[in-house]
Every structure is written in structure tokens, then in C-alpha cells.
Amino acid sequence: MKRLGSIAIAVVMGAIVSGLGSGSAIAIPSICDSVAGNLVSNCGFETGTFASWTQSGNTGFTGVDAGSANSGAFGAFFGPVGSLGFITQNLSTTAGGTYDLEFWLRADAETPNRFQASWNGAIVFFLDNTPALPYTLFTVPGLTASTASTPLQFGFRHDPSFFLFDDVSVVGAAVAAVPGPSSLRLIGSGLAGLAILWRRRS
């Protein structure tokens, strides 16, 4: 019953958004669209589809609608039963570069359920049989790319109900500037000058 109820609410929300948009174009950007340098296309599913993402595995009870949004007009919902369903996107990266991943996830309370995030084929984050979870921001920092194209994949299973998912971003990690040899020479010269000035004043 809960699964059917959630789908019904999502359909009603979709109809409301469609009605608001009739006769004029209404764009409601996702928060991930404002993240500078975000490598993820269709990061908030604002196309109303999984465009730019590739679906695989168990795609049952999976889709994009207005009732699943964390921000913007649309979000994704996932309720595969018995096995994982996946969405994957290949990102343009720099070999040796470091990246930070962020996403928003919501979960209904019932079990069994599983969520996982993979970077270049390796699981970097997962939740098993999570209790009820409001839309929550998760961050996975310091992911390293080994090639110019890195697959980002998310897996979902929620037998009795749904995960809601939205606002995915991957950006290059900020690296603190380290003084080079020329900068160190300038610093050394400045300290030497201060030492000479102090001696003269003495």
C-alpha cells in the first residue's frame, strides 16, 4: 500500500508542475546546477528523465518525477525489489586529479534496503538497511581519477518502499598552495633584510 501511495502522490505532484508550466516555460533549477565546476550532467534530473545517465540492473519501481525532488522541479525515486538497480555516468576527469562527491538522499523506513555509490568501479559509500532518513546531504571527499573518463555509479534496492535521490555534484578538490623555490627565496631575502635593519637600529 505504501508503495502505491507514494506513486500516486508523485503523479499528482507531476500534474501540478505540468499545469503550472502550461502556456509558459517555467525553469526551476536544482541546487547542484549552481555548483561551480560540477562535472555531472543532469545533476538534478531537471530534464524529467535519466538523460546523461545509463540505467542497468533491476530498474523496477524506478523513475523521475516532481514528488521526489530535493530542490528544483524533479528528483529520482528507486525501489527495485530483490536486487540492485543502477544509474551510471562517465565523467570527464584528469588522471591523477582529486575530486569531491556530494549527493542528497532520502529513505523510507522499511527493510531490506541498500544504497551504494561507486567511483571508477570501487564502492566508496554504502548504507544497508538504513532507518527512515529525511533528505540528507552526503559528501565523499578525496576521490582520485586514474584516467580521463571516470564512471560514477549509484546502486539502489528498497524492497518495501523507496529511496529518493537528487542534486549530485562532483568537483575538483581544492588544493592548498605550496610555496615554490622562487617564493621561498623571496621570503628568505625578506627575512635577511629585516635582520640587517634590526642590527643597524641596534
**pLDDT tens-digit profile of 146-201?**
999 999 999 999 999 999 999 999 999 975 444 555 444 544 545 444 444 444 44
Q: Which of the four pLDDT bands, split at 50, 70 and 90, describes residue 19? A: very low
Torsion of CA 53, 80, 27, 170, to 10 degrees: -50
From first CA to last CA, the distance across the chain in angstroms is: 87
Domains of the chain as residue ranges with CATH: 2-201 (2.60.120.260)
Q: Read off the pTM.
A: 0.77
Place of cell 523521475: 64
Among the ranges given (42-56, 98-112, 181-195), the one the predictor scored with the smallest mean pLDDT = 181-195
Contact 67, 45 (CB under 8 A): no
**32 DSSP 8-state letter:** G
Alpha-carbon distance 74 to 13, whole Å? 10
**193 three-class SS:** helix
* For residue 89, pLDDT beyond 60: yes
Q: What is the mean pLDDT of residues 66-71?
A: 97
- pLDDT confidence of residue 107: 98
Over the chain, what is the mean pLDDT? Answer: 83
What is the pLDDT at residue 29?
87
What is the C-alpha separation between 3 and 12, in angstroms, rounded?
15
